Amino acid sequence: MDTPAASIRRIAHLDMDAFYASVELLRYPQLQGLPMVIGGSRRNAEELLNRLNAERPQRVWTLDDLARIPVDFFPRLGDYTGRGVITTATYAARSYGVGSAMGLMKAARLCPQAILLPVDFAEYRRCSRLFKSIITEIAPVMEDRGVDEVYIDFTEVPGGQREGGRVLARLIQKSILQRTGLSCSIGVAPNKLLAKMASEFDKPGGISIVHESDLEPRIWPLPCRKINGIGPKADARLQALGIETIGELAAADRAWLMAHFGPRTGAWMARVARGQDERAVVVHSEPVSLSRETTFDRDLHPVQDRIELGAIFTRLCQQVADDLQRKGYAGKTVGIKLRFDDFRSVTRDLTLPAPVADAQAIRQAAGQCLKRAPLARRLRLLGVRVAALQALAPLEDSQQNAAPGPVEYGEVAIESEATGQTGWRF
DNA sequence: TCTGGGGTCCTAGGACCC
DNA sequence: TCTGGGGTCCTAGGACCC
């Protein structure tokens, strides 16, 4: 029965397929099917590009030519030197044992011939906004879960109940593909928890419909790690207790789980293992904190490299301040994060009497934090964070008009500065 | 030649107040 | 002189996610 009165809660989880790589392939279709990794730092990407341009001075390529650049002209992983990790690897690259979060130098030894592209967050965000706007045109109750993922409440959408949500999922999938060229996978279920798992069932390009009655045959055989919220640590602890699958977790005694994992986590585990999740699809949420951090090209000594460190520190504060002001927030708590050469990290923070948003105030407070941090080792990372955010009063219309290209420009410019995706122009 | 960047949420102890 | 107890804020660290 598809009568509105009988509307059953139907929640979809939509996950873009290999999002970053797919966006790159829209620009560079000539790389289709080749081993390709995305990642690395700005400086080395620029070095590669400069070398490339120096080697091929015969012609000046413009942005309109991207799809025509010969494959041979693209930088190779084997030529990369420096720090950084792989953000994404295509299936062709993964067959060489290369994968996400792997160090680039290690990957270079495994697959030197792979194409190496820098991460272009500005472009991914542009595509992200586009596919999300296509979704909300069809189904307005959408929760943002990052650049390539959303939840959608199908319950009250016309047609959202048909075939358990499959008809609407198909419409959304088709609309996104037609208008962006990008493919996605969708799971539809009674709640977010199950929808998230369902979207993984038939990747890429699949639609999976999960009902209450599917819990035992389709969910319980899965490993606990498939539950959103059970990570490597919790999974290892569960396994040590002899629990491998969600079904085994469901069979475990609730009080016993609470005794082992604490009252809150234990009770939560018992609930999710039974497929229970009442969380709403949240259309809008306020940010809690805002931060900028950077890993150095080489580990820096707190004393010998203090000039360089000071400059980076100031720049991070400036970036956070710019982000805050562009987004219209100020924050009471200023914090720093240090990562040492042995990869241990520490944080220090300081809560101020009143929220701040300007670079000087942030730098001042962050400096106080730094004084309380141990500085015996070389540093590999420095970060600055502002938390306990409060929205600033919205700008007057006149001020808004006076601000040049508010959101769009600012984001791109800041991102370029921070992640260094500049100069990547053929 | 290991190990990015930007987030959220939870825990736990101490300070402080009533 | 006998150490209860709740509530809130602050701080540090860690798990987890995209």
**pLDDT tens digits for A250-270?**
999 999 999 999 999 999 999
**Band (A69; pLDDT cuts 50, 70, 90):** confident
Distance from CA(A20) to C1'(B6), angstroms, rounded:
16
CB atoms within 10 A of CB A232: 8
Contact A71, A32 (CB under 8 A): no
pLDDT in tens, A132-161: 999 999 999 999 999 999 999 999 999 999
Most confident of A23-32, A35-44, A359-368: A359-368
Q: In Å, how far are A81, A315, A348, A354, A376 from A370, measured between CA atoms?
A: 31, 15, 7, 20, 13
List residue ranges whose Cβ is under 7 angstroms from nucleic strand B: A 81-85, 87, 100-101, 103-106, 109, 146, 262-265, 287-295, 323, 342-343, 380-381, 383, 385, 387, 418-419
Task: Please give the DSSP secondary-structure letter assigned to residue A299.
Answer: E
Q: How far is the CA of A257 from the C1' of C3 (A)?
A: 35
Average pLDDT of chain A is: 89
User: Which positions on chain C have an atom < 7 Å from some protein CB?
Assistant: 9-18
Spatial separation of the C-alpha atoms in residues A420 and A118, rounded to whole Å: 9
pLDDT tens digits for A104-127? Answer: 999 999 999 999 998 888 889 999
Using the predicted structure, report yes or no on whether residue A179 has a pLDDT greater than 90: yes
What is the structure's pLDDT at A401?
A: 40
What is the structure's pLDDT at A289? 98
β-pair type (A207-209, A184-189): parallel
Residue A286 has pLDDT above 80, yes or no: yes
Residue A145 burial by Cβ neighbours in a 10 Å radius (0-12, 13-18, 19+) = middle
CA of A349 to C1' of C2 (A): 37
Given A123, A149, A163, A248, the catalytic residue: A149
Alpha helices in A332-379 (DSSP H): 359-371
Q: In what order do the strands lie in the sheet with A289-300?
A: A289-300, A379-391, A329-340, A345-356
pLDDT reading at A169 higher than 50: yes
Strand C closer than 7 A to residue A345 Cβ: yes
The reply to whether A149 Cβ lies less than 7 angstroms from strand C is yes
Whether A368 sits with its Cβ under 7 A from any strand C atom: the answer reads: no
Residue A5's pLDDT is 57
Assigned token pair, A352: 């101020």
Query: For residue A23, which of A43, A38, A4 has the smallest C-alpha distance?
Result: A38
Average the pLDDT over A42-56 and give the result. 62
The question of whether A149 is a catalytic residue gets the answer yes
Residue-level pLDDT at A414? 28
State residue A83's pLDDT score: 86
Q: What is the C-alpha separation between A326 and A253, in angstroms, rounded? A: 50
pLDDT band at A44 (very low <50, low <70, confident <90, very high): low
The yes-or-no verdict on residue A423 having pLDDT over 60 is no
For residue A282, the SS3 value is coil
Question: Which nucleotide's C1' is closest to A196 (Cα)?
Answer: C17
- Lookup: nucleotide whose C1' is closest to A268 CA: B10
Q: Is the CB of A388 under 7 A from strand C?
A: yes
Query: For A302 and C9, how far is CA from C1' in angstroms?
Result: 32
pLDDT greater than 90 at residue A426: no
A319-370 residue pLDDT tens = 999 999 999 999 999 999 999 999 999 999 999 999 999 999 999 999 999 9
A347: the nucleotide nearest its CA (via C1') is C12
- Domains plus CATH for chain A? 11-16+123-216 (3.30.70.270), 20-120 (3.40.1170.60), 220-273 (1.10.150.20), 289-425 (3.30.1490.100)
Mean pLDDT along residues A44-51: 57
Q: Which bases in strand B are touched by protein, i.e. have an atom under 7 Å from a CB?
A: 1-12
Q: State residue A413's pLDDT score.
A: 29
* R_g of chain A computed on alpha carbons: 24
Q: Confidence band (pLDDT; 50, 70, 90) for A52?
A: low
Q: Which of residues 218-237 of A touch strand C (CB under 7 A)?
A: 227-235
Parallel, antiparallel or unpaired: strands A329-340 and A379-391? antiparallel
For the cut 70, the answer to whether the pLDDT of residue A23 exceeds it is yes
With 50 as the cut, is the pLDDT of residue A417 above it? no
